[in-house]
Amino acid sequence: MSDLEIARAAAVRPIEHISDAAGIPREALEFHGRYKAKIDPRLLPEDGRSPGKVVLVSAMSPTPAGEGKSTCTVGLADSLARAGQRVMIALREPSLGPVLGMKGGATGGGYSQVLPMDEINLHFTGDFHAITSANNALAALIDNHIHQGNELGIDPRRITFKRVLDVNDRALREVVIGLGGPTQGTPRRDGFDITVASEIMAVFCLAADPADLKERLADITFGYTYDRRPLTVRDLQVQGALALLLKDALKPNLVQTIAGTPALVHGGPFANIAHGCNSVIATRTARRLADIVVTEAGFGADLGAEKFMDIKARAADLAPDAVVIVATIRALKMHGGVAKADLAQPDLEALRDGTANLLRHVRNIEKFGIPPVVAVNRFGTDSQEELDWLLSWCAGEGIAAAVADVWGQGGGGPGGDELAAEVLAALERPVTFSHLYPLDLPVDEKIRTIVQEIYGADGVELSVPALRRLKEIEANGWSGLPVCMAKTQYSFSDDAGLLGAPKGFTVHVRDLIPKTGAGFIVALTGSVMTMPGLPKEPAALRMDVDADGNAVGLF
Amino acid sequence: MSDLEIARAAAVRPIEHISDAAGIPREALEFHGRYKAKIDPRLLPEDGRSPGKVVLVSAMSPTPAGEGKSTCTVGLADSLARAGQRVMIALREPSLGPVLGMKGGATGGGYSQVLPMDEINLHFTGDFHAITSANNALAALIDNHIHQGNELGIDPRRITFKRVLDVNDRALREVVIGLGGPTQGTPRRDGFDITVASEIMAVFCLAADPADLKERLADITFGYTYDRRPLTVRDLQVQGALALLLKDALKPNLVQTIAGTPALVHGGPFANIAHGCNSVIATRTARRLADIVVTEAGFGADLGAEKFMDIKARAADLAPDAVVIVATIRALKMHGGVAKADLAQPDLEALRDGTANLLRHVRNIEKFGIPPVVAVNRFGTDSQEELDWLLSWCAGEGIAAAVADVWGQGGGGPGGDELAAEVLAALERPVTFSHLYPLDLPVDEKIRTIVQEIYGADGVELSVPALRRLKEIEANGWSGLPVCMAKTQYSFSDDAGLLGAPKGFTVHVRDLIPKTGAGFIVALTGSVMTMPGLPKEPAALRMDVDADGNAVGLF
């Protein structure tokens, strides 16, 4: 059965059953249909209990097909609930662009999914549409300011804030706007990103509350004057209008897993030019309601977990209590040198070689002072011999680990019981969390720390434009911001083909992009695609509505 | 008090109180927060009662400030409910672009508003966002088809389908896309319209049901091949994906007036290049639930009412039972020659001269076989002498008329009682509804009929490009479609400055645009703005959220 067929066959409960069980008072609920509700955090009781523990699900360096982080997040939470824990999930919302393009949904898989799968993957509760609207309202206000006389002296060549759409549309990557004469605006080069790449998405996901949202919106640098002075939304005085467009979206969305575990699905910034985690507000809300919160960060642990620790944990003022690193036999064999086409064949030698990648991720998590647990996400092609070997290797290295069959069994079955037990054991261990670097380190030193400590690089090399930008960042007083690395997720290095646990390499930083509203400096290594394209046979060709009004073709 | 302040002070009821009173079963409701719900028409009972009567609210040729059609629509329905009638309103959804730009909300005014005013004016239930998404997904799929080899032979110079955003953004009116080299699409000239101008919006509003929606989507002509053959969405085979993106939006939205009258607010096509009425599905749903449905068409009666009769009434298979023509003392004096700055001064002579405009609209409605009722929408600057004179003039001409003070009193007071009584009397009169023209008349003859019979023109002149397009329309077999006139609303003619009831003029048709999914041929007279711009001081500058999370600055 496809994910959509499994999701449709599942018995979805009215959302008030889920919220009642989670202790959410009815007055804090805003229904969106029968199975989705927004929660107003201001209307939750202040009961003085300590916030729930945070389990971050991350992964080893993945294969292009992905290792099933979301599936493991859902399955682990379901299994923790099965073990009698009061648990809640915090996940990112899927982007519509990829849904119409290649990959179908992003709501877990198999029997470890959040429901209603089709609605979450399509418009959900409209949060991304609100972010798109706010982004494009700001863009229109910027061009209108220039058109109406340009009092602020905006240099049209140095506007860094781009328009966005939640669609994969390569033809919009590079455009010229404002054509048609003096009544149609000022011609300039521009481009569109996908909505998840908007700085407003990152701001939305890092804001602590509505007041902080407005401040962060005001702090967005949208461009520069002719004399290179940075210009912010505060200069345009439209942070209030943008906050108004986002005020309802800012309430986290409650849904449920197939097993009935409550999940807050809220926000979804890119994992490359942003930090790749659900909203701070959703994570905090979940911690107020549950004893354990299972959440996820995009990409492998070198990117996702590091940014979680150094960006999100700072904004949310939290310390994770355990980190799950999802590994698969397939990915380990790929890092051990097996070609993609042969990953289904048993190969103990390659498996052994591939553990170098996993091991580096595990040791990295330990550097943050947090106990790691390896979740071996079971695939149908795994041999029992491979799984047994991997578990005994983990034991030999002193790494807590368990095989999880959550795709095939979900929280209704015992497939995640051993993983849940390992995670519960890890939560008993002491945590001495520390960030990787202090904020007062210079920006280039922060980058050097990340690439040496986490990636295992010899060092970092900044391009000439990046060095120029570094000086501007220092001159503008932005040196105290954390760094958001934009790097391939397939390798510890900036070369996607360098698998395993490479050594003796240098990371090349092509450019630095200050995101003063989100509150980080993006360090670009290699080229980063911020507007995907559609494939030759887009998923849209298979999508439809049947005669009963049901979604068809969403995988 | 501002409209927003009045709206916030009003006692808004939980939407299930409204739906229960309207006889909507709970299982047909999908809540969107406490005060909005979508209704699934498939889940309404089939009780065999005859559909409710339809009262169309239109207007004389307006002043630039508008004559208060929405306010009168809401106030009339409230007053009919006060008179004991089982009534429901069907209205368009507001566009976000103008809300951020100039005019604030579009949900009525004063004490005749639909609630929650702020939510309806901002994202509401996300319908326009769904339409924007479907529109831009189609645009991306078109450019992707070209990029991937262009099997259909799409001529990039002859793509007629444009991208849209629900924002006023003049810099996007004319753009060049696909720049940056061979991996970034094919460069071509393009442009963005505002979402309400999307053909998908018109399709959405004319579809009878989900199956008809998919057919109409498939019938959209998006461009032409190099050998000038029209290409439709059916050629791309993506009507299923577009229908999927629209399936939930297609359910009408239930809200309430300040007085508690149920209102379906759904869809909102432009009144110039489209037909300017709420969705057929909303109107039909309202007729299943109420004995009287009060609805509205954009612009003056020469445009709005004519398109209602010849486009929407055909798609919805309905005959209106009465037409209310909203007139104001101000607008009548303007048509009598008074300058805008002096409209507050009493001027009986100008008032008398201005009645020529109103009279032509009244006689036009009679041509459709429907009884007209003039609603004099009272403004604070009207003198009693002017109001008395106008009512006696109407009586002399045999025109049913009443003064309505619905802005100041709303349905809670007697301000609309007389208007309601006149409308109820009109509903007792016999209707012998006929369309203005048969569909088998040639397109240019349809246009001639409209401009001579409704506008009072001597005739019509088609430009050379329009004549060329006429031939293509005939060759492609589209001659049987009705005509959708795009003309200034300020004059019966195509010259906005020609007020009153002009004679001896010719209407110039600049171009014809076939909209084969919506199912009409747009006849463009003069230039029509399909992407508005922002003013020097946009409304966004005043908009904000207060510390309690309430909207500020929405008028």
Q: Convert A335-345 to b/e letters by CB count within 10 Å (16 or more is b).
A: bbebeeeebee
Q: Are A276 and A134 in contact (CB under 8 A)?
A: no
ipTM of the complex: 0.96
* Shortest Cα distance, chain B CAs vs residue A122, angstroms: 7
* Shortest Cα distance, chain B CAs vs residue A344, angstroms: 31
* Beta carbons of B33 and A34 less than 8 Å apart: no
* Shortest Cα distance, chain B CAs vs residue A140, angstroms: 5
Cβ neighbour number for residue B309 with a 10 Å cutoff: 28
DSSP bridge partners of A453: none
Q: DSSP letter at B42?
A: G
Percent of chain B with pLDDT over 90: 91
**B234 contact residues in A (CB cutoff 8 A):** none
* Shortest Cα distance, chain B CAs vs residue A188, angstroms: 9
Q: What is the pLDDT of residue B528?
A: 86
Q: What are phi and psi of B121, to 5 degrees?
A: -80, -20
> Contacts for B12-20 with beta carbons within 8 Å, 24 or more apart?
B12/B115, B12/B116, B12/B256, B13/B256, B13/B260, B15/B254, B15/B255, B15/B256, B18/B254, B18/B255, B18/B256, B18/B260, B18/B262, B19/B254, B19/B262
Please name the residues between 399 and 458 in chain B that touch chain A, using a CB distance below 8 Å.
none
A18-22, A108-112, B392-396, B481-485: which range is least confident on average? A108-112
Question: Per the annotation, where are the binding residues of A for ATP?
Answer: 63-70
Task: Express each pLDDT in B461-477 by its tens digit.
Answer: 999 999 999 999 999 99
**A30 contact residues in B (CB cutoff 8 A):** 32-34
Instruction: Return d(Cα A492, Cα A503) in angstroms, integer.
Output: 9
Q: Using alpha carbons only, give the angle A278, A282, A284 rounded to the nearest 5 degrees.
A: 115
Q: Which helix (H) or strand (E) holds B279?
A: none
Q: Which residue has the tokens 């909207």?
A: B551
pTM value?
Answer: 0.97
Instruction: Return d(Cα A360, Cα B89) in angstroms, integer.
Output: 65
Q: Are B404 and B377 in contact (CB under 8 A)?
A: yes
Q: Are A89 and A262 in contact (CB under 8 A)?
A: yes
Q: Convert A44-61 to b/e letters by CB count within 10 Å (16 or more is b).
A: beeeeeebbbbbbbbbbb
Task: Using the predicted structure, report yes or no on whether residue B102 has a pLDDT greater than 90.
Answer: no
Asked if A407 is an active-site residue, the reply is: yes
- A483 Cβ contact partners less than 8 Å away, ≥ 6 residues apart: A310, A443, A446, A447, A450, A520, A521, A522, A523
By Cβ distance, the residue of B180, B533, B549 closest to A210 is B549
Q: Are A551 and A512 in contact (CB under 8 A)?
A: no
Asked if A536 is an active-site residue, the reply is: no
Task: Express each pLDDT in B136-195 by its tens digit.
Answer: 999 999 999 999 999 999 999 999 999 999 999 999 999 999 999 999 999 999 999 999
Query: How far, in whole angstroms, is CA B2 from its chain's centroid?
Result: 24
| Residue A106 tokens, joined | 């992003």
Instruction: Return d(Cα A147, Cα B180) in angstroms, integer.
Output: 26
Q: Are B188 and B176 in contact (CB under 8 A)?
A: yes
Task: Express each pLDDT in B335-356 by its tens digit.
Answer: 999 999 999 999 999 999 999 9
Instruction: Return d(Cα A125, Cα A167) in angstroms, integer.
Output: 17
Asked if B505 is an active-site residue, the reply is: no
Task: Using the predicted structure, report yes or no on whether residue B259 has a pLDDT greater than 90.
Answer: yes
Domains of chain B in sequence order: 3-42+54-126+249-428 (3.40.50.300), 128-240 (3.30.1510.10), 443-525 (3.10.410.10)
* Beta carbons of A245 and B140 less than 8 Å apart: no
Asked if A103 is an active-site residue, the reply is: yes
Q: Are B101 and B168 in contact (CB under 8 A)?
A: yes
* Beta carbons of B141 and A538 less than 8 Å apart: yes
Cβ neighbour number for residue B459 with a 10 Å cutoff: 11
A25 — contact with chain B (CB < 8 Å)? no
What number of CA atoms fall less than 13 Å from residue B287's CA on the CB side? 21
* Shortest Cα distance, chain B CAs vs residue A549, angstroms: 7
Please name the residues between 153 and 182 in chain A that touch chain B, using a CB distance below 8 Å.
163, 165-180
By Cβ distance, the residue of B100, B119, B140 closest to A168 is B140
Question: Per the annotation, where are the binding residues of B?
Answer: 63-70
**A214 contact residues in B (CB cutoff 8 A):** 545
Out of A10, A22, A53, A71, the active site residue is: A71
Asked if A271 is an active-site residue, the reply is: yes
- If pLDDT is split at 50, 70 and 90, which confidence band does B234 have? very high
Q: Which residues in chain A come in under a pLDDT of 50? A: none
By Cβ distance, the residue of A34, A172, A541 closest to B237 is A541
**Mean pLDDT of all residues in B523-551:** 93
Q: What are phi and psi of B226, to 5 degrees?
A: -60, -30
Please name the residues between 122 and 141 in chain B that touch chain A, using a CB distance below 8 Å.
122-123, 125-126, 129-130, 132-133, 136-137, 139-141
By Cβ distance, the residue of B31, B119, B130 closest to A31 is B31
String of DSSP letters for B310-344: IIIHHHHT---SEEEEEE-HHHHHHHTT--GGGTT
Task: Express each pLDDT in B64-79 by its tens digit.
Answer: 888 999 999 999 999 9
**Mean pLDDT of all residues in B446-467:** 98
**A551 contact residues in B (CB cutoff 8 A):** 244, 247
Q: Using alpha carbons only, give the angle A363, A366, A372 rounded to the nearest 5 degrees.
A: 90
A248 — contact with chain B (CB < 8 Å)? yes
Instruction: Return d(Cα B417, Cα B406) in angstroms, integer.
Output: 9
- If pLDDT is split at 50, 70 and 90, which confidence band does B409 have? confident
Given strand A230-232, what is the order of strands in its sheet? A154-159, A221-225, A230-232
Cβ neighbour number for residue B322 with a 10 Å cutoff: 26
At A68, which amino acid appears?
G
Q: What is the pLDDT of residue A104?
A: 55
